[in-house]
Structure 1
Amino acid sequence: MSDALGFQPDPVVRTNDLVIGCIGAGMIMAECHLAAYHEAGFKVGAIASRTESKAAAVAKRWGIAKVHATPEALIADPSIEILDIAYPPDQQPALIYAALKQPHIKAILAQKPLALTLADAIALRDAAAKAGKVLSVNQNMRYDQSMRVLKQIIDRGDLGEIVFAQIDMHAIPHWQGFLADYDRLTLANMSVHHLDVLRFLFGEPVEITTQTRRDPRTTFEHSDGITVSTLRFASGVLAVSLEDVWSGPRAEGYDNDQSITFRVEGTAGVAKGSIGWPTGAASTLSYASQTATGGKWVSPTWDTMWFPHAFIGVMEQLQHAVKTGTPPALSVADNVKTVALIEAGYRSIAEGRTVKLSEISTN
Structure 2
Amino acid sequence: MTSAGEYDLEPDPPIRSSNHAIGVIGAGAIMADQHLAAYAYAGFPVIAIASRTPSHAAEVASRYGIETVHDTPSDLIADERIEILDIAFPPDQQPALIRAALAAPHIRGILAQKPLALTLDEAIALRDEAEAAGKILSVNQNMRYDQSIRSLKQLLDRGALGTPVFAAIDMHAVPHWQTFLEEYDRLTIANMGVHHLDALRYLFGDPEEITTAARADPRTRFAHTDGIAASIIRFPGGLLATTREDVWGGPRQDGYDDDFFISWRVEGTDGVAKGTIGWPNGQPSTITFNSVTETGGRWVAPTWQTHWFPHAFAGVMEQVQHAVETGSAPALTVADNVRTMATVEASYLSLAEKRTVRLDEFPL
| TM-score exceeds 0.5 | yes
TM-score, normalised relative to structure 1: 0.99
Partner of 2:304: 302
Given that 2:24 and 2:86 are in contact with CA atoms closer than 8 Å, whether structure 1 keeps it comes out as: yes
Q: Over residues 249-307 of structure 1, what are the superposed CA-to-partner deviations in whole Å (9 max), with x where a residue is unaligned?
A: 02111111011111100001000011110011110000001111000001111000000
Query: Aligned partners of 1:256, 1:119: CA distance in 2, in Å?
Result: 39
Q: Which of residues 221, 224, 228 in structure 2 aligns to 1:222?
A: 224
Given candidates 264, 268, 281, the residue that maps to 1:279 is 281
Structure 2 residue aligned with 1:290, among 289, 292, 300? 292
Contact 1:202–1:235 (Cα < 8 Å) also in 2: no
Provide the secondary structure at the position in 2 that maps to 1:255: coil
Give runs of aligned pairs for residues 237-276 of structure 1, distance below 5 A.
Answer: 237-276=239-278
1:334 equivalenced with 2:336 (yes/no): yes
Task: Look up the match of 2:214.
Answer: 212
**Does 2:85 match 1:116?**
no
Distance 2:176 2:204 in 1: 28
- CA separation in 2, counterparts of 1:2 and 1:102? 42
Change (3 A) 1:2 1:283: closer
Q: Is the 8 A contact 2:211 2:350 kept in 1?
A: yes
Identity of aligned residues (%): 66
Deviations 1:67-96 (A, max 9, x none): 000000000000000000000000000000
Counterpart amino acid of residue 301 in structure 2: S
The residue aligned with 2:190 is: 188
**CA contact under 8 A between 1:228 and 1:240: conserved in structure 2?**
yes
CA distance in 2, matches of 1:185, 1:74: 30
Identify which of 116, 126, 129 aligns with 2:128: 126
Q: Partners in 1 of 2:275 and 2:143 — Cα distance?
A: 14
In the TM superposition, residue 247 of structure 1 has moved relative to its aligned partner by 1.2
Provide the C-alpha distance between the structure 2 equivalents of 1:266 and 1:230, rounded to a whole number of angstroms.
Answer: 18
* 1:95-130 deviation line (CA, Å, top 9, x unaligned): 000000000000100000000000000000000000
**Matches of residues 169-180 of structure 1 in structure 2 within 5 Å?**
169-180=171-182
Helix, strand or coil at the partner of 2:293: coil
Say if 2:48 and 2:67, in contact at 8 Å, map to a contact too: yes
Q: Give yes or no for contact 2:109–2:320 (8 Å, CA) kept in 1.
A: yes
Matching residue of 1:203: 205
CA contact (8 A) 2:4 2:303 kept: no
Residues 16 and 318 in structure 2, CA contact (< 8 A), matched pair in contact too: yes
Equivalent AA in structure 2 for residue 38 of structure 1: A
- 1:9-44 CA-to-partner distances (Å, cap 9, x unmatched) read 000000000000000000000000000000111000
State the 1:2 CA deviation.
6.4
**Aligned to 2:42, which of 27, 40, 43?**
40
SS state at 1:235 partner:
helix
- Alignment equivalent of 2:25, drawn from 23, 26, 33: 23
Residue 360 (structure 1) shift: 1.1
**In the alignment, which residue of structure 1 is the partner of 2:317?**
315
Query: Are 1:152 and 2:154 matched, yes or no?
Result: yes
Please report the TM-score for the alignment, with normalisation by the length of structure 2.
Answer: 0.99
Cα deviation, residue 160, structure 1? 0.4
Maintained 8 Å contact 2:249/2:258: no
Q: Which residue of 2 aligns with 1:352?
A: 354
Paired AA for residue 201 in structure 1: L
Secondary structure of 2:110 counterpart: strand
Q: Which consecutive aligned stretches of 4+ in structure 1 deviate over 6 angstroms post-superposition? A: none
Task: Give the letter for the 1:234 counterpart.
Answer: P
Q: Give CA-to-partner distance per residue, 1:128-150, whole Å, 9 cap, x none.
A: 00000000000000000000000
1:210·1:228 contact (CA, 8 Å) conserved in 2? Answer: yes
2:4, 2:304 within 8 Å by CA — same for their partners in 1?
Answer: no
Partner-residue secondary structure (3-state), 2:304: coil
Residue identity opposite 1:211 in structure 2: A
Aligned with 2:238: secondary structure? coil
Residues 199-238 of structure 1: CA deviation (Å, up to 9, x unaligned): 0000110000000000000000001110001100113210
Tell me the distance in 2 between the aligned counterparts of 1:33 and 1:288: 34
> Please, which of 113, 124, 143 is the counterpart of residue 141 of structure 1?
143
Match for residue 325 of structure 1 among 321, 324, 327: 327
- Confirm or deny: 8 A CA contact 2:4 2:302 kept in the other structure: no
How far apart in 1 are the matches of 2:257 and 2:105? 54
